[in-house]
Chains A and B, each alone.
Chain A
Amino acid sequence: MIKSNSIYKYGLSLLLVLMVLLPLVVTSSFVLEILVRILLFAFIGTAWNLLGGYAKQLSLGHAAFFGLGAYTSTLLQINLGISPWIGMLVGGGVGLLASLPIGWLCFRLKGPYFTISTIATANVLMLIFLKFRDLAWGAEGTTIPNLGNAPLMMQFDNKVPYYYILLGLLIIALSITAWIERSRMGYYLIALGEDEDAAEASGVDVVKVKRNIYMISAFLTALAGTFYTQYIYFIDPQTAFNFNVSIEAALVSIVGGIGTLWGPVIGTVLLETTTILLQSYLGNSIGGIQLTVYSLILMAVILVRPTGIVGYFKEKSQARSST
């Protein structure tokens, strides 16, 4: 037991060093782009996993917080000249606060009802931002002013700093997840995820636990929103509250292993790599072929191994250790 623990720690440190040094070795902008995408969705997935994986509250509306974070920092930047670094934290706060009324509304519903209501929330936010031009540029959106290389305003002329920002965010999210896993809240979360009624009957304050985890999940997701806007230099309601963000967050966690620390990361690596391979081999010769293959793979994973990749390995090691 002690041996495997220290192997784990050793491996982890090695991985960390590798990830930190990677951009210095990789010069291909294309590969860096892929790494950025992987880190971004691993981060969003990890944030989602707290609520959707551990607590098993399947939200497909996390784009709501993503968008709120994105708009908050952009509004602060363009209207008040405040740096997106600060804007990002404020955005996280806004997301966190938003999770309170949204949670209040949606948690009253169970199962698929809950899911549909989260989808509706993100949709409603998109509609609001589309409609009110005076609020935040309306449907047309806006571009981030071109400041060239401005580290203090979170704009860089090459991809490497973006990579490090995301790496930092991911490490934070994973640390939070690991800490929660080992904490009392973690016990409550997992109990709640397994069987909400039983947990409640055992004295777990289900409402409070759900609310707290939602706040953390929302906060982190909102940070990603700010990052993303700074990265693509553009924001509009359809991009900010895009359903695909909600989907991908859940997807990577499911494929990788819901309710596990590394699930979202592994899921992201797998799915993104698949996408890129598909893109290079099949290209765009026939419209729809990429997503067809993608969805087939997804279905295969869900049918064959619903607990995800990490889940599979966990089961295997549990089986082994019990013999």
Chain B
Amino acid sequence: MTQFSENRRKIVKATGSAFFASGLSAIPLRGYAADPVNIGALYPVTGSMAQIGMGCVAAAKLAVSMINDAGGIKSLGGAKLNLIISDVQSDTTVTRTETDRLITGSKLSAIHGCYASALTLIASEVCERAKVPIITGSSSDMLNKGRSYTFTPFARASQFAQTQLQMSKLVSDRPKVAVIFENTAFGTATSNGIKELAASEGVEIVMFEPYSAGFTDAAPLLNKVKASGANAMFSVSYLNDLILIVRSIKQMGLNIAVNAGSGGFVMPDFYKNVGKLAEGLQGVTHWNHDISAESKKCNEEFKKITGEFLFEYGGGLIAQTFMLADAIERAASTDPQKVREALSTLDVSKGFAAMAPGGRVKFGPDGKNIYGRPIGVQWQNGDLASIFPKDFAKASILKT
């Protein structure tokens, strides 16, 4: 512990950090023009997930400006949040080096990122060893195992599965579901949850198949779905494949209810690409812009900046930024370990920090939000409406 902090000091001095770290971490500056609090943001701004990454960055900036406009961190003399963004290029190696660079290059109090589970896992490992807290909306259940610096305020992959299964009963009493999923971490984690819970939810799985993402044609896959006799289909896919799948469904005369979970499906871009074909399709998300007055407000602001509605991950990370602010406020310190302590005792039920389905955030010892749960959504009139469960529903279900 001591050797590590000694190295840190050396590094900070050597890199000539302008933020006189040793001073900041020990004494809260009051009455001065307070030094900013550094928050790191790791997102794939380039590479295959560039689109979403850019959206996330826009949301991150919005969140920080909202907090700073409201006066910043009052217990630190109105210190402003300083967002330091790093592009992880949709690549695992880069994530490792960028997380490291971010942590050692700027004295960070906390980090949020990285959208894709595989990337977040790596960042989380680095953060754990560097003892910097990371808060994330990534759903991989692995993020809650064996670590104390990772916080996940939103639903986990296993919970998504359950909600998806329950939603299939909205369509039919005896749902026969074909599950297709992309064969990397995202698809596998989510679909496994589906398989395990199906029986207990009274849902029959007639097909359960991984596929290689980025295919040239969705027709063979859908042909198989058709042959399985399913009346509902769960697809855990990235956006490009989803576009093909949804369009091919119509082309093949397949009459089937689709629940496409999360990911690319719940992005405005999905609707832009498939148009009316999206109407009525259902999904599951960990956040939606109609869940509370605060979320609606964020949605409006986001629309002004980007022209599109605030998507799941973006809205979630705005809430996360507020949670970080709440923790820093209570810790009255920029020291990452103190921020981590404050995060672990977070318990909010109103305001922007509580902007989650169910309206409450409190972390258990494994970093999971004990009130975290997913929200079932449906595309209605070009926008996403929350429809499930009944007590969280903001719109009625569109029958197709």
B105 at the interface (CB under 8 A from A): yes
Candidate in A27, A37, A231 with the most chain B CB atoms within 10 angstroms = A27
Known: A28-B11, A130-B184, A287-B50. A141 touches B126 (CB 8 A): no
CB-nearest residue of chain B to A156: B129
Q: B-facing mask of A118-151, CB < 8 A → 1, else 0?
A: 0000000001001101000011110111101000
C-alpha gap A1/B247 in the complex (Å): 72
Verify B92–A284 contact, CB threshold 8 A.
no
Tell me which residues across on chain B come within 8 A of A236, comparing CB atoms: 92, 118, 184-185
Verify A234–B10 contact, CB threshold 8 A.
no
A115 at the interface (CB under 8 A from B): no
Interface size on B, residues (CB 8 A): 42
Known: A158-B7, A287-B45. A139 touches B183 (CB 8 A): yes
C-alpha gap A288/B104 in the complex (Å): 26
Q: B-facing mask of A222-254, CB < 8 A → 1, else 0?
A: 000000000111101111001010000000000
Verify B92–A239 contact, CB threshold 8 A.
yes
CB-nearest residue of chain B to A238: B184
Verify A284–B184 contact, CB threshold 8 A.
no
Tell me which residues across on chain B come within 8 A of A197, comparing CB atoms: none
B125 at the interface (CB under 8 A from A): yes
CB-nearest residue of chain A to B119: A234
Interface residues in B260-301 by Cβ distance below 8 A to A read none
B93 at the interface (CB under 8 A from A): yes
Verify A284–B122 contact, CB threshold 8 A.
no
A194 at the interface (CB under 8 A from B): no
Known: A143-B121, A146-B129, A238-B118. A232 touches B101 (CB 8 A): no
Verify A140–B142 contact, CB threshold 8 A.
yes
CB-nearest residue of chain A to B50: A287
A205 at the interface (CB under 8 A from B): no
Q: B-facing mask of A283-307, CB < 8 A → 1, else 0?
A: 0100110100000000000000000
CB-nearest residue of chain A to B10: A27
Verify B101–A33 contact, CB threshold 8 A.
yes
A200 at the interface (CB under 8 A from B): no
**Nearest Cβ distance between residue A66 and chain B, in whole angstroms?**
12
B4 at the interface (CB under 8 A from A): yes
Tell me which residues across on chain B come within 8 A of A315, comparing CB atoms: none
Interface residues in B9-29 by Cβ distance below 8 A to A read 10-11, 14-15
A281 at the interface (CB under 8 A from B): no
Verify A131–B15 contact, CB threshold 8 A.
no
Verify B96–A157 contact, CB threshold 8 A.
no
Q: B-facing mask of A155-198, CB < 8 A → 1, else 0?
A: 00110000000000000000000000000000000000000000
Verify A30–B129 contact, CB threshold 8 A.
no
Tell me which residues across on chain B come within 8 A of A284, comparing CB atoms: 45-46, 85, 87
Interface range, A side:
35 or more
Known: A143-B125, A157-B129, A234-B122. A29 touches B11 (CB 8 A): yes
CB-nearest residue of chain A to B3: A157
Verify A140–B189 contact, CB threshold 8 A.
yes
Q: A-facing mask of B124-143, CB < 8 A → 1, else 0?
A: 01101100000000001010
Tell me which residues across on chain A come within 8 A of B142, comparing CB atoms: 140, 143
Known: A29-B104, A158-B7. A146 touches B185 (CB 8 A): no
**Nearest Cβ distance between residue A144 and chain B, in whole angstroms?**
8
C-alpha gap A223/B140 in the complex (Å): 30
B212 at the interface (CB under 8 A from A): yes
Verify A130–B122 contact, CB threshold 8 A.
no
Interface residues in A29-64 by Cβ distance below 8 A to B read 29-30, 33, 37
C-alpha gap A232/B122 in the complex (Å): 7
Tell me which residues across on chain B come within 8 A of A288, comparing CB atoms: 46
B380 at the interface (CB under 8 A from A): no
Verify B125–A234 contact, CB threshold 8 A.
yes
C-alpha gap A30/B16 in the complex (Å): 12
Interface residues in B43-63 by Cβ distance below 8 A to A read 45-46, 50, 54
C-alpha gap A231/B46 in the complex (Å): 23
Q: A-facing mask of B74-117, CB < 8 A → 1, else 0?
A: 00000000000101000111001100110011000000000001
C-alpha gap A234/B15 in the complex (Å): 28
**Nearest Cβ distance between residue B107 and chain A, in whole angstroms?**
12
C-alpha gap A144/B92 in the complex (Å): 15
Q: Which of A30, A138, A146 contacts B15 (CB 8 A)?
A: A30
C-alpha gap A287/B89 in the complex (Å): 9
CB-nearest residue of chain A to B184: A139
Tell me which residues across on chain A come within 8 A of B45, comparing CB atoms: 284, 287
Candidate in A130, A131, A239, A284 with the most chain B CB atoms within 10 angstroms = A284
C-alpha gap A244/B90 in the complex (Å): 13
- 20 further A-B pairs in the complex, CB-CB below 8 A; given A28-B11, A139-B183: A29-B100, A29-B104, A33-B100, A37-B97, A131-B210, A133-B188, A139-B187, A143-B121, A145-B146, A148-B129, A236-B92, A236-B184, A236-B185, A238-B92, A284-B46, A284-B87, A287-B46, A287-B54, A288-B46, A290-B46
A-B contact pairs, 8 of them (CB 8 A): A29-B100, A30-B105, A33-B97, A130-B183, A130-B210, A133-B188, A234-B92, A239-B92
Complex A-B, nearest 3 residue pairs according to Cβ-Cβ distance, in ascending order: A29-B104, A233-B125, A232-B96
